[in-house]
Amino acid sequence: MSKLSLPGLPDDLHIGNIYCIGRNYVEHVHELKNEVPGQPLVFLKPSSSIIKDGQAIILPPQSNNVHHEVEMVAVIGKSGKNIPQKNALKYIAGYAIGIDVTARDIQQKAKENSHPWSVAKGFDTFAPLGDVIPAVKLDDPQNIELQLAVNNKVRQSDNTKLMIFPVAELVHYLSTIFTLQPGDLIFTGTPKGVSPLQSGDNIKATLGDGLSQLNITVQ
């Protein structure tokens, strides 16, 4: 089990379910030629895919096209079901930068065959997660810059205000289906600019003004 280090929460808090939201930024929906969803598109990643700052993404032999997707990650701090949207942010203990690493060729085949995305999204090392910063340190989670650079070239740079479904709505929606529990993560979707990774790449991803950072290599 992967541990989280988060001030104000128990040291033994473990990462629980990893909920991910697809197609939550309009320009990213268009770059992959998808339709803008009418409600959040939810999938899950396994906790075995988590890596921390300083570790490496390992490109799996089953794919020839592995993409980065930089995302803000919300960490659930208390248990809840059917959480009203107006209270939803109170259930978030903190935020972090994350990368929803995706085997795009495997995902494309899955989409064509109406198969699930678990394989495309779930390989070991496919969920880099930066240090979690307490929610109180963010004035507004819907006005935070996300950036990802590969070999010092910026590939993704956008603001969380562009989300189709804001974080409070995601917490509400997920909680109508799943009981959210402390340590659960929500990867809130990626803005435009997703692109392939190569062995030897160096990735730097940041949330806000360096609030949460990831320095990751690719093997």
Nearest Cα to Cα of residue 171 among 160, 163, 180, 162: 180
Backbone dihedral angles phi then psi of residue 161, each to the nearest 5 degrees: -65, -15
**Residues in touch with Zn ion (CB under 5 A):** 69, 100, 190
Burial class (CB in 10 A: 0-12, 13-18, 19+), 112: exposed
> In this structure, what token pair is assigned to residue 215?
């320095």
What number of other Cβ atoms are within 10 A of residue 25's Cβ?
25
Least Å distance between CB 112 and Zn ion? 19
Which residue number, 94 or 100, has a Cβ lying nearer to Zn ion? 100
Residue 185's DSSP bridge partners are: 18, 75
Residue in the shown chain whose Cβ atom is closest to Zn ion: 100
Cβ closer to Zn ion: 40 or 80? 40
Closest CB 86 distance from Zn ion, rounded Å: 26
Tell me how far apart the terminal alpha carbons of the chain are, to the nearest angstrom.
Answer: 23
- Closest separation in Å from C-beta 194 to Zn ion: 8
Judged by beta carbon, residue 9 or residue 72, the one nearer Zn ion is: 72
Strand partners, 42: 21
- Cβ proximity to Zn ion, 13 vs 119, nearer residue: 119
Least Å distance between CB 189 and Zn ion? Answer: 6
**For Zn ion, which is the closer residue by CB, 9 or 57?**
57
3-state percent helix, strand, coil for the chain, nearest multiple of 5:
20, 35, 45
- Report the nearest approach of Zn ion to the CB of residue 79 (Å): 25
